[in-house]
Amino acid sequence: MSAPLPPILPTTVTRISAIGRRFRRTSTRPEKLGTFIGVFTPSILTILGVILFLRTGWMVGNVGLLGAIGIVVIANAVTFATALSVGTVATNMRVGAGGAYYIISRSLGVEIGAAIGIPLFLAQAFSVTLYAFGLAESFQLIWPSLPLRPTATITILIVALLAARGADLALRLQLPIMGGIVLALLALGIGVARNIPETAELAGASSGLGFWPVFAVFFPAVTGIMAGVSLSGDLKHPERSIPRGSIAAVLVGFVVYLGVVVALGLAATPEDLINDNLIWFTLAGGFGFLIFPGLWGAIFSSAVGSILGAPRTLEAMVDDRVLPRFIGKRIARIEGPGIPLIISIAVALGAVMLGDLNAVAPVLTTFFLTTYGMVNLVAGIERLSGDPSFRPSLRVPSWISLAGAFGCFWVMYLINPLALAVAIVVEVGVYLIMRRRALAAPWGDLRRGALMALVRSTVLQLRRLPEDPRNWRPNILLFAGDPRKRAALVRFAAWLVQDRGILTVSDLRVGSLEDLGSSVEERTVKLNRDLDEMGVVAFGEVDIVEDFINGVIDVAQANGIAGITSNTVMFGWSEKPDRQAEVLRIIERLATIGISAVICHPRAFSTQKRRQIVVWWGGLQNNGDMLALFSHLMSLNPEWRNAQITLKSIATSDMMIQRNQSLLERVIGEARIDAHIEILRKSDDLSISEQIFRESQGADVVLMGLRTTAPGDEEAYSQRIEELAEGLPSVLFVRSAGIFRGRLLGEQPDTVNGRN
């Protein structure tokens, strides 16, 4: 009997078996399952499914015997890597209910777990429909007039009724179904052994499809190893059963598919293999009647596994608060999840109404492959991160897991690039929604360990790289106290960093550790929460010191790690002269160890559309480059975008005017800063402070340099900067003291450096 090429019916990649005792949330736990019944059997029944019977011959006919062997080897290599990754993760953690969703969410976080779990549920529910259509099409091989959609609908309802009665009946049916598959394989083997021709065609049909399109059709056949993982909550010893059962299922499936490929390739011509959907029955001869029980049993068991697995995935997400609580409610007459089962049935029946799922099937296969790819990624990253808590009994090199992840994503692309794009869009969308909900999981995950490994590797590499002024970034340590009381100061610090460096906000507490130490953790949590609510990206820390001056110096020296240390300390403005003088003393001591400093006096801004930033350039202190750089960084912030930067300088002669003009033009040209230049002649009627005040009218912020102060001059200089700031808008006083002092805008000639 022959028929045209049938539509693709992908084997569901993640199949939760119709096995196990009733799943209860009561104190009375059912008897736990072992490796054979709980993992191996459901996995192998999923692997030896509809593609084994209806697609293997078609594959051999298209690409030939050698090509088909190559497809089986490559596909099983990817699956075997995934089985090893599953075993690695399972032997490192207690795998709870939820299967693949549980593993991913506990490893990569609840947001990524939800991004995989929701598409996984949809794929499991839609797979019921796919297998129902597959069963209906197999019936049509015998009864061609049988209506497709009504038959599929009835199949779903029967499967749903079985699921509502619990998994006990499915457990009893599982072994007979496996027996039916074994009989079908024996029938094929006997028939082929009796009819092996003297010569066999090793090449495929001349009009056959290419290697990779055929590979894309076949690959879903070998992706059923998660079936046992999905029963993780019902296993007696999941840490032993999952790796043993999964790996054994992959190896047995590989041997079976390899044997069937060789048998079909030797016994039939490529044209017969492509055109005859019932080639198994033709080759089996008088034993053909043994084929149908195995075919129907494999398809039906996969459909039952889907309808049992989909609700359990939903239920696990409800437990993690990914989905609303009411979805997890139980119904008295339904064993296991109640409302989740009804939702799964509704989705499956709704898919029947679409009429044809051939266009949807690649998307569903892509969702399942995403699950396998993520599990491989989890195992690979866990191994690479060097997390001390990752101590699996089954040790697998990271490159195997990462290669398995790459293989899964690569196969997704081969199957259907559009389906891959749809899957990515859906999963990223779910992830972003979960991030907006800010779910707090009561468990840790490997993201912190992976990032720690990345940070360690980065700082070790950073240590070996030479420092250069062009790579300088402002890493600011801000002593702000309570950020809510000094919000403007904190925002100024964030503007200066402008996502280029690192901002640390310190709440410095003067006192003894005995009195204040117990409150550090609580205060740190509150400080970071306040910063988050303010929208400021910064690290908050609470430091206990015995006195203010020495405490600031100690914290500044200790802050940071490796080559990422705080190179600039920032203080708020103090109305107390003695405290301002203390700050100046601290700045002098910080300068001796190469740490720059900023004193910020924030005030209200004007309402003008284009803000004005004025930088006063002058003196012999080499502060000018940092002043100009900070003004540029501020202008990059959305609140200061398109701000006009004006570099101003006061000169006492025409020659100095020309010199300063040339110097500043060269600086902004080489530094590529968009700024205006104004060189002013010293007024005979006004003091420097008065002239700065007059020329700074209309500005939103003014930046000026701080000079070196000799011991004992701090009080006088404190009064001086207070006079300069009087009546001005927001003011930043900057003291550059790093190793690149005078060179932050690029390598300048010595004549330029000497006058910044």
Q: Tell me what pLDDT residue 169 has.
A: 60
Residue 357, pLDDT above cutoff 90: no
Q: 547 and 661 share a domain?
A: yes
Q: Tell me what pLDDT residue 257 has.
A: 94
Nearest to 427 by CA among 385, 383, 486, 371: 371
The interaxial angle of helices 110-140 and 100-108, nearest 10 deg, is 160
Average pLDDT, stretch 466-486? Answer: 83
Q: 557 and 420 share a domain?
A: no
Q: How far is CA 189 from the centre of its chain?
A: 47
**Would you tell me how many other CB atoms lie within 10 Å of the CB of residue 56?**
24
Residue 20, pLDDT above cutoff 50: no
**Where does residue 360 rank: exposed (0-12), middle (13-18), buried (19+ CB within 10 A)?**
middle
Look at 114-128, 390-404, 448-462, 538-552 and tell me which has the smallest mean pLDDT. Answer: 448-462
Q: Tell me what pLDDT residue 198 has.
A: 62
Q: 417 and 497 share a domain?
A: no
Q: Are strands 560-561 and 564-565 parallel, antiparallel or unpaired?
A: antiparallel
Look at 308-322, 473-487, 533-547, 549-563 and tell me which has the smallest mean pLDDT. Answer: 308-322
Does residue 683 belong to any structural domain of this protein?
yes
Q: What is the total count of domains within the chain?
A: 2
241-265 pLDDT per residue, tens: 888 999 999 999 999 999 999 988 8
Does residue 23 belong to any structural domain of this protein?
no
pLDDT band for position 323 (cuts 50, 70, 90): confident
3-state secondary structure 405-469: HHHHHHHHHHHCHHHHHHHHHHHHHHHHHHHHHCCCCCCCCHHHHHHHHHHHHHHHHHHHCCCCH
pLDDT band for position 15 (cuts 50, 70, 90): very low
Among 384, 418, 437, identify where a domain stops.
437
Look at 24-38, 403-417, 629-643 and tell me which has the smallest mean pLDDT. Answer: 24-38
- State which residues form the domain around 313: 35-366+410-437
Q: 493 and 613 share a domain?
A: yes
Non-local (6+) Cβ contacts of 159 within 8 A are: 128, 132, 300, 303, 304, 307
Mean pLDDT taken over the chain: 79
Q: 429 and 543 share a domain?
A: no
CATH of the domain at 199: 1.20.1740.10
Question: Phi and psi at residue 409, in whole multiples of 5°?
Answer: -70, -35
The residues facing 505 across adjacent strands are 478, 540
Q: Tell me what pLDDT residue 12 has.
A: 35
Q: 429 and 473 share a domain?
A: no
Q: 676 and 737 share a domain?
A: yes
Residue 4, pLDDT above cutoff 60: no
Residue 431, pLDDT above cutoff 90: no
Q: 478 and 422 share a domain?
A: no
Does residue 380 belong to any structural domain of this protein?
no
Handedness of CA 205, 207, 208, 212 (dihedral sign): positive
| More reliable by pLDDT, 434 or 29 | 434
Does residue 379 belong to any structural domain of this protein?
no
Q: Tell me what pLDDT residue 167 has.
A: 56
Q: 325 and 236 share a domain?
A: yes
Average pLDDT, stretch 443-447? Answer: 52
Does residue 224 belong to any structural domain of this protein?
yes
pLDDT band for position 98 (cuts 50, 70, 90): low
Percent of the chain whose pLDDT exceeds 70? 81
CATH of the domain at 678: 3.40.50.12370
What value does the CA radius of gyration of the chain take, rounded to a whole number of Å?
Answer: 36
194-223 residues labelled b (16+ CB within 10 A) or e (exposed): eeeeeeebeebbeebbebeebbbbbbbbbb
Residue 26, pLDDT above cutoff 50: no
Q: 155 and 266 share a domain?
A: yes
Average pLDDT, stretch 622-646? Answer: 86
Q: 417 and 507 share a domain?
A: no
Q: Tell me what pLDDT residue 335 has.
A: 63
Q: Tell me what pLDDT residue 561 has.
A: 73
Does residue 382 belong to any structural domain of this protein?
no
Non-local (6+) Cβ contacts of 433 within 8 A are: none
Average pLDDT, stretch 6-24? Answer: 37
Question: Alpha-carbon distance 159 to 345, whole Å?
Answer: 9
Average pLDDT, stretch 172-186? Answer: 84
104-142 pLDDT per residue, tens: 777 667 777 777 788 778 877 887 887 788 788 778 777
498-533 pLDDT per residue, tens: 777 889 999 999 988 888 888 899 999 999 999 988
Q: 346 and 479 share a domain?
A: no
Does residue 381 belong to any structural domain of this protein?
no
Q: Tell me what pLDDT residue 17 has.
A: 35
Residue 62, pLDDT above cutoff 70: yes
533-584 pLDDT per residue, tens: 888 889 999 999 999 899 999 999 988 776 678 899 999 998 888 889 999 9
Does residue 378 belong to any structural domain of this protein?
no
Q: Tell me what pLDDT residue 747 has.
A: 44
Residue 686, pLDDT above cutoff 50: yes
pLDDT band for position 18 (cuts 50, 70, 90): very low
Q: Tell me what pLDDT residue 123 has.
A: 78
pLDDT band for position 28 (cuts 50, 70, 90): very low
